[in-house]
């Protein structure tokens, strides 16, 4: 059987040399397409060539370190010395390690609050900034600004802003006669502080939503309006369903991001262990407590936990099926 896609790769001639196919040729290729769709013995899909670069680079540069960390999770490895075999000892210790579970609890609480809030905030900002208002570029740039500054700089800035004595927030509160709390020094206020920092940076997520909003066809909205749908109805029944792929992307990345929270927590800290997010705890165990083996074990357990949570999200979404019709077989 002839290859149905003779010019799949490399590129077909481009530019001036390209000519429009004759009607006959079109008919032939349509037949080829039809043949391609029919059940038959297949050549390997060209997809493998397209996805190969990532997997090759992964195998070359990332696989060995990853396997090394997996092996190290079975050892006692003080980083600066040689590892000694520990079998599953790290994992059994982990099960009884109150600090690990406390960090997980801190991280989960942060995620449960900040992921939905952050998504809602970013979506709202994107929708408001997806219109023809005056000063649009300026607004967008300002709202995106927090995402531009790196995690460490954000931490430094916020440490000042939240400083109980010299800080901006308590200064403002004092001006209206309110004694502000010790944001990062009072355990009860640590997570609210982090949520505030996360919301402040939520504008960074606006970009992906702006892109998705661009994809929502205008006529659908108009059709809905003609049928008397209000703003909320249009949002709920037209816009959001069409943005599903990007909402899904942001949800998954939001969950992963919350679990992997590190940079600002590294600088900000927080009283009573309330700022001791999981990644921070792992990092400290590895580099400050000289227990890289144990920290590796934690990271792999961490991976399984994140995987379980995102797996649930996948399970209750139509991730694998919603675009079925658009694939080549």
Partner 1 sequence: MTTTAPAPDRDRVLATAAARRREQRRRTWHRSVAKHLALSLVALSMLLPFAWMITTSLKADGDVFAIPPQWIPTDPQWQHYREVFEALPFARFFLNTALYTTAVMAGEVLVSIVVAYGFARFDFRGKKPLFLFLLITIMLPGEITIVPGYIFWAEVGETLGVQLINTYWPLILPALGGQAVHVFFLFQFFRSIPRDFAEAAYLNGAGWWAILWRVFVPMSKPAVVTIAVTSFMGTWNAFLGPLIYLNDVEKFTVQVGLTMFRGQFETDWPLLMAATTLSVIPMLVLFFTMQRYFVPSRASEAVR
Partner 2 sequence: MRHRLPTAVAALALVLPLAACGGDADAEDGPPTFTVATWANETEADELDAILDGLNDAQDTYRLEQMVIPGGEYYTKLQTMIAGRQAPDLFWLSQEYVPAYADNGTLTDLTGRVEDAIDLDDYPPGSLDPATVGGALYGLPWIGQPYVVYYNADRFAEADLAEPDGTWTWTEFREVARALTDGTRYGYATTGTPPVALFAWGEGGDYVTADGEVVVDSDATVAGLELAHAIANDATATMPQGLAQSRGVESAFVDGTVAMMVGGAADDIERKVAESGDPFEVGMAVMPAGSVEHVTFNWTASTVLSATVTDTEAGLAALTDLTHAMFDWKIPAPVSSRVGDIADVNPQKAYAVDVVTRSAEIARGFHNQPQQNELGSVIWEQLEGPILSDGDGRGVGDLADLAAATAAKMREVVDR
Contact 139, 133 (CB under 8 A): yes
Q: For partner 1, what does the binding mask look like between residues 225 and 264, x meaning CB under 8 A?
A: ------x--xx--xx-----xx-xx--xx--x--xx-x--
Contact between 50 and partner 2 by CB under 8 A: the answer reads no
Closer CB to partner 2, 115 or 292, in the complex: 292
**223 sits in which H/E element:** helix 218-226
Pick the binder of partner 1 from 100, 144, 183, 194 (CB under 8 A). 144
Residue 288 interaction partner, one of partner 2, partner 1, none, beta carbon < 5-8 Å per kind? partner 2
185 binds partner 2 (CB under 8 A): yes
Single residue of 155, 274, 299, 301 touching partner 1 by CB under 8 A: 299
**What value, to the nearest 5°, has the Cα angle with vertex 320 and ends 33 and 205?**
115
Q: Tell me the number of residues near partner 2 by CB under 8 A.
A: 25
To which residue do tokens 């991280």 refer? 107
Among 38, 165, 175, 308, binds partner 2 (CB under 8 A): 165
Q: Is residue 215 near partner 1 by the rule CB under 8 A?
A: yes
Q: Applying CB under 8 A, what is the total number of residues that bind partner 1?
A: 126
x/- map, 27-46, partner 1, by CB under 8 A: --xx--x----------xxx
Residue showing tokens 């355990």:
187
Of the residues 187, 192, 221, 257, which one makes contact with partner 2 according to CB under 8 A: 187
- The secondary structure of 45-100 as a DSSP string is PTHHHHHHHHHHHIIIIIHHHHHHHHHHTTEE--SSS--EE-TTHHHHHHHT-HHH
Neighbours of 196 (CB within 10 A): 17
Q: Which long-range contacts (CB under 8 A, 24 or more apart) does 135-138 make?
A: none
For residues 106 and 283, give the distance between their C-alpha atoms in angstroms, rounded to a whole number: 16
Of partner 2, partner 1, none, which one sits near residue 83, judging by CB under 5 to 8 A according to partner kind? none
User: Rounded to the nearest 10 degrees, what angle do helices 98-128 and 278-287 cross at?
Assistant: 130
Interacting residue ranges for partner 2, rule: CB under 8 A = 15, 78-81, 163-166, 170, 181-182, 185-187, 271-273, 284, 287-292
């Amino acid at each position: 059987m002839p290859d149905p896609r003779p010019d799949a790769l490399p590129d077909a001639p481009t530019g001036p040399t390209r000519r429009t196919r004759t009607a006959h040729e079109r008919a032939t290729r349509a037949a080829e397409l039809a043949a391609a769709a029919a059940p038959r013995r297949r050549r390997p899909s060209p997809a493998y060539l397209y996805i190969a670069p990532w997997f090759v680079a992964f195998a070359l540069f990332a696989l060995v370190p990853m396997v090394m960390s997996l092996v190290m999770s079975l050892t006692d490895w003080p980083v600066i010395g040689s590892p000694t075999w520990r079998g599953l000892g790290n994992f059994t210790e982990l099960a009884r390690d109150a600090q690990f579970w406390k960090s997980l609890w801190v991280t989960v609480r942060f995620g449960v609050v900040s992921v939905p809030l952050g998504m809602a905030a970013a979506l709202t900002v994107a929708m408001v900034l997806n219109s023809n208002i005056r000063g649009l570029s300026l607004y967008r740039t300002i709202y995106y600004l927090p995402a531009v500054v790196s995690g460490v700089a954000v931490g430094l800035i916020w440490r000042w802003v939240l400083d109980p004595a010299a800080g901006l927030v308590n200064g403002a509160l004092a001006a209206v006669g309110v004694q502000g709390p010790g944001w990062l020094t009072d355990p009860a206020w640590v997570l609210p502080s982090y949520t505030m920092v996360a919301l402040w940076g939520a504008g960074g997520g606006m970009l992906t939503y702006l892109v998705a909003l661009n994809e929502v066809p205008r006529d659908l909205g108009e059709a809905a309006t003609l049928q008397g749908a209000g703003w909320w109805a249009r949002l709920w029944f037209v816009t959001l369903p069409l943005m599903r792929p990007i909402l899904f992307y942001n949800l998954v990345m939001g969950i992963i991001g919350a679990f992997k929270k590190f940079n600002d927590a590294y600088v900000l800290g927080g009283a009573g262990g309330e700022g001791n997010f999981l990644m921070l705890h792992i990092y400290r165990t590895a580099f400050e407590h000289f227990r890289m083996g144990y920290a590796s074990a934690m990271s792999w357990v961490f991976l399984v936990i994140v995987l379980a949570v995102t797996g649930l999200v996948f399970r209750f979404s139509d991730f694998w099926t919603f675009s079925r019709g658009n694939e080549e077989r």
